Amino acid sequence: MEPLILTTPRLVLRPFEASDVDAVFAACQDPDIPRWTNVPSP
């Protein structure tokens, strides 16, 4: 099955890519991310 990409004027949802690593790491430094998800901390 081909990956599904959903696009609106303000948002693009697609599977993660290797180039997303730095942005995901930076986002996970926000204290609310582990508070509301299963992302491990520290």
| CB neighbour list of residue 14: distance below 8 Å, 6 or more residues apart | 3, 5, 6
The radius of gyration of the chain's CA atoms, rounded to the nearest angstrom, is: 13
Could you list the residue range(s) of the whole structural domain that residue 36 is in? 15-42
Residue 37 lies in a domain: yes
**Domain-embedded: residue 3:** no
Number of structural domains found in the chain: 1
23 belongs to a structural domain: yes
Report which residue type is found at 23: A
In a domain, 5, yes or no: no
- Asked whether residue 32 is domain-assigned, the answer is yes
Residue 31's pLDDT is: 87
Each residue's pLDDT tens digit, 1-42: 899 999 999 999 999 999 999 999 998 889 888 889 888 776
Q: Is position 30 within any domain?
A: yes
